[in-house]
Amino acid sequence: MTMNKTPVFLLTMGDPAGIGPEIAVKALCGEAMSNRPYRVAVVGDVEILRKAADVCKISPAFNIVDDPGDAKGFGINVIDMGEITTSQFTPGQPQAPCGHAAYRYIIKAIDLTMEKKAAGVVTNPISKESLKLAGIDYPGHTEIFADKTGTRDYSMVFLLDGVAVAHVTTHVSLRQAIDLVTKDRVLRQIRLLHRSLKSLGIDPPRMAVSGLNPHAGENGLFGDEEIREIIPAVSEARAAGIDIAGPLPPDTVFNRAFSGEFNGVVSMLHDHGFVALKSRDFERGVNITTGLPIIRTSVGHGTAFDKAWSGRASPASLLSALEAAYIIT
């Protein structure tokens, strides 16, 4: 293995039929990466990446490496998995071969990082439907990482414009989500978000907790979940020395955060947080999985099948995800 002290991050190629291959080659060829203090190796298929480069009308040098430590500081380093070829899938739609390939990229990146051969993993988007078609029973990246690293206490944090958001509930139905808003779950997300903000260099964090109901329940007028579950969690967090406000109305807390009052928000529902964040900026947000024994960041968007393989996808979120991974190290 080549001796090089700059950290290496593994970038999974994502679903081959989505925008992952395109944004990977765009990001790694762009000017923003020319003086990076780290190296990147894509875990994917070099044939797919070459085709994506052709679609994007760029001609990068590809370096095939077996060990992340051999990654060069120029060109596009690829750990070539040989999982799928361009003739085996149709761009822009979910399909089993793509789900299988995307899963294998993730597992390889996790294994190498757990073996201390890489500093962390940055993930490109996958299709949950493609995973299901391939017979892979995970709802998404986060659950794969938690299972394969033996992690029980974890959370997905979304970072945008200096504000980090954790969700008490994510990929469940709304009916299920309401029942899952408990004191223990809220307190766990407060602690994980507090730890995440510190790892990002924000110390001390200023945090807020969003309510579940309109107007954060209005003292029980619109629901009592705030009184029964959320307020006790906030009180316990304050007693532990965490600077946290709330529960605050979910329709105003994000405006206050992006105005500089808070740098972290714990949101009760998937769409409370993500609607606010993705409406503000769909392209630059970053996902960070906290609680894992390894670093994992991700783009803040999906496979964008509607624009895949057209050369139009923006690498902005991927560049932000790479920078976030480096900051955390």
pLDDT in tens, 40-84: 999 999 999 999 999 999 999 999 999 999 999 889 999 999 999
142, 14: one domain: yes
Torsions phi, psi of 76, nearest 5?
-115, 110
For strand 155-160 and strand 286-290, is the pairing parallel, antiparallel, or unpaired?
A: antiparallel
290 band by pLDDT with thresholds 50, 70 and 90 = confident
Question: How confident is the model at residue 164, as a pLDDT?
Answer: 92
Q: What is the mean pLDDT of residues 185-192?
A: 94
CA distances in angstroms from 252 to 179, 214, 233, 274, listed in the order given:
23, 10, 20, 14
Q: Which of 184, 208, 181, 180 is nearest to 194 (CA)?
A: 208
Distance (Å, rounded) from C-alpha 231 to C-alpha 303? 37
Residue 2 lies in a domain: no
271 band by pLDDT with thresholds 50, 70 and 90 = very high
Residue 289 lies in a domain: no
Long-range residue pairs from 63-67, CB within 8 A, at least 24 positions apart, any chain? 65/41, 67/1, 67/117
50, 138: one domain: yes
Q: Which residue has the higher pLDDT, 50 or 4?
A: 50
For all residues of the chain together, what is the average pLDDT? 93
Residue 1 lies in a domain: no
131, 44: one domain: yes
Question: How confident is the model at residue 2, as a pLDDT?
Answer: 45
Residue 273, class by beta-carbon neighbours within 10 Å (0-12 exposed, 13-18 middle, 19+ buried)? buried
3 band by pLDDT with thresholds 50, 70 and 90 = very low
Residue 284 lies in a domain: no
Domain hosting 105: range is: 8-153+294-328
pLDDT at 19 over 80: yes
140, 179: one domain: no
Q: Which residue has the higher pLDDT, 117 or 153?
A: 117
142, 169: one domain: no
Q: Which of 142, 143, 145 is nearest to 111 (CA)?
A: 145
Distance (Å, rounded) from C-alpha 124 to C-alpha 115? 21
53, 114: one domain: yes
Residue 28 lies in a domain: yes
Task: State what percent of residues in the chain have pLDDT above 70.
Answer: 98
284 band by pLDDT with thresholds 50, 70 and 90 = confident
Residue type present at position 24: A
Q: What is the mean pLDDT of residues 79-105?
A: 97
Question: How confident is the model at residue 1, as a pLDDT?
Answer: 42
Distance (Å, rounded) from C-alpha 123 to C-alpha 322? 9
Give the DSSP H/E element, type plus range, for residue 210.
strand 207-210
Task: Determine contact, residues 183/166, Cβ cutoff 8 Å.
Answer: no
Residue 288 lies in a domain: no
Question: How confident is the model at residue 160, as a pLDDT?
Answer: 87
The domain total for the chain is 2
306, 249: one domain: no
Q: Which CATH number fits the domain that encloses residue 180?
A: 3.40.718.10
pLDDT at 32 over 70: no
Question: How confident is the model at residue 153, as a pLDDT?
Answer: 83
Stretch among 1-10, 75-84, 201-210 having the lowest mean pLDDT: 1-10
Torsions phi, psi of 124, nearest 5?
-90, 165
203, 307: one domain: no
